Structure 1
Amino acid sequence: MPVAIVVLLLDITLIWHASKTGRLQPWAFIILMIPFVGALAYIVVELIPEWFGSPGAQQARKRVAERLDPEKRYRELCERLAGTDTIANREVLAAECLKVGRFDEAERHYDHVLTLPMGKEPAYALGKAQAQFGLNRPADVLATLDDLKQHWPDFESAEGHLLYARALAEVGRVDEALDEYHALVAYFPGAEAKVRYGMLLSMTGRTAEARIVFNELLLSMRRAPKYLRDAQAEWLSIAEKQLSA
């Protein structure tokens, strides 16, 4: 294709974009009067900052950076804690340890925080339980969460409730786990709890009930906004596979 045609198509595309985004003046004049140079100026001045400044672009850059160096933030937080050992710095490092799979270290940090006068908070006990689950110690998870409920009876956490149900299933207390899931799915945000509930029902031979759970989930999500469906895509895919199995 001749270069002139490529430049013309580029100019037309950028003028169309400028009109759609309320930038027609003065960019249409610039792009038309200075072919290619005007298009290049529009890309540099308007599009590149938009691409790299939007929340979506920032998230994309963050995901790429995490894939290239998944422990960069972990190292930064270690340095911060070494410089200033506070509950806040230790807790944020513990949360990052959970994220990167350093469960032993996460548990140690949460244990330390919980011994401090200002560190006796249910969120830190929940973090400890999450670390124990990552270490494949479901019995310890149950003990930690039972202790949490005893000390902070008014504390509510959908994530903690899900963790408790999963730990019950892991130690073989399946009937209790099903009861917890049945209560949990009524308020848990997202699809994970319903999918795990359906899978546990299937595992126990209650396949008809499991299919109802999966079908209701998929039907409700079809009516949900696209961004919600995209956020739950992994769990919805699992539900679909369970129905087709």
Structure 2
Amino acid sequence: MPLALVIILLDIMLVWHAARTGRMQPWAYIILMVPVAGAVAYVLIELLPEIFGGRTAQQARRNVAKRIDPEKTYRGLADQLASADTIANRAALAAECLEIGRFDEAVQHYAHILTLPLGHDPKYALAKARAQFGARRPLDAIATLDALQTQWPDFESADAHLLYARALTEAGRTDEALGEYEALLRYASSAEANVRYGQLLHALGRTSEAKVVFAEFVVQMKRAPKFARKAQAEWLSIAEKSLAA
């Protein structure tokens, strides 16, 4: 049997399998339009994890599938919201919008949730501020976080505090941002907060102070367990490069 015919038959079988298992989009297009490679990708991503199972294999499948079709989850969640407009469905879609960079849409979803009696929750206000910051609207993010603090004065979040400092920086309110970083680092010293504080000092021309911040962070990480260094590898690399510059 000619090789070309074998490939065609294999592609037909895989498209049929994709149709039966609800995977037509985007696999039918990939299999048919990318000969051989499309079939191999389908086997590796869909069939092998299905055969062998396991959490790691399933996660790998999801990661690769997301790279191939980054909005597949978004479309599914949008369909769920269209079928049932609940807070849970809208929040899930909003979170996915944040994940894939649809920041303006995420802002709209979170804003709507916050108008609902059961959606009046600080976690949604924080998520809305994250979306506004992602949409390059730092002043709106600052306003949302200020309102959050006013409405829920007992709400405490180092993540919210870091976002506030970053938004102040982006808005050009650098003196206030420095104060927020210093306050944050007194009670929640994180890798990201340390490095961003050092970067702000450097940007303001306070180079020697910035190098002290970077050096102290690098020393701290060198003394940390291996798993901690691995988890913060990105920030450690930035700090080391900043020291060497």
Determine if the TM-score, normalized by the shorter chain, exceeds 0.5. Answer: yes
Paired amino acid for 2:160: G
Q: Distance in 1 between matches of 2:169 and 2:242?
A: 19
Distance 1:100 1:188, change over 3 A: farther
Q: How many residues align?
A: 196
Structure-to-structure mapping, 1:85-164, within 5 angstroms: 85-164=85-164
Q: In structure 2, list runs of 5 or more residues that go unmatched.
A: 1-48
What do the CA deviations read for 1:81-125 (whole angstroms, capped 9, x no partner)? 111111111111101101100011101101110111111001111
TM-score normalised to the size of structure 1? 0.75
The aligned counterpart of 1:60 is 60
TM superposition score normalised by structure 2: 0.75
Q: Is contact 1:190–1:232 with CA below 8 Å preserved after alignment?
A: no
8 Å contact 1:149–1:155 — kept in the other structure? yes
Q: 1:189 to 1:179 in 2, by over 3 A?
A: closer
1:77 aligns with 2:64: no
1:52/1:214 CA distance change after superposition, 3 Å: farther
What does 1:182-197 correspond to in 2, within 5 Å? Answer: 182-188=182-188, 190-197=190-197
1:144-197 residue CA offsets vs partner (Å, 9 max, x unmatched): 110000000011111111110011111211111001111212344641111100
In 1: Cα distance, 2:92 partner to 2:241 partner: 36
Return closer, same or farther for 1:65/1:226 CA change in 2, 3 Å cut-off. Answer: farther
In structure 1, the residue corresponding to 2:186 is in which secondary structure?
coil
Rounded to whole Å, the distance in 2 between the matches of 1:52 and 1:244 is 46
Q: Quick one: distance in 2 between partners of 1:62 and 1:161? A: 32
Q: Distance in 2 between matches of 1:187 and 1:81?
A: 39
What is aligned with 1:216?
216
The separation in 1 between residues aligned to 2:90 and 2:139, in whole angstroms, is 25
Instruction: Select the structure of larger CA radius of gyration.
Output: 1
SS at match of 2:75: helix
Alignment partner, residue 206 of structure 1? 206
Identity of aligned residues (%): 64
CA distance in 2, matches of 1:186, 1:54: 39
The CA deviation at 1:206 is 1.4
Give unmatched runs, 5+ long, in structure 1: 1-47
Change (3 A) 1:52 1:202: farther
Specify the alignment match of 2:39 in structure 1: none
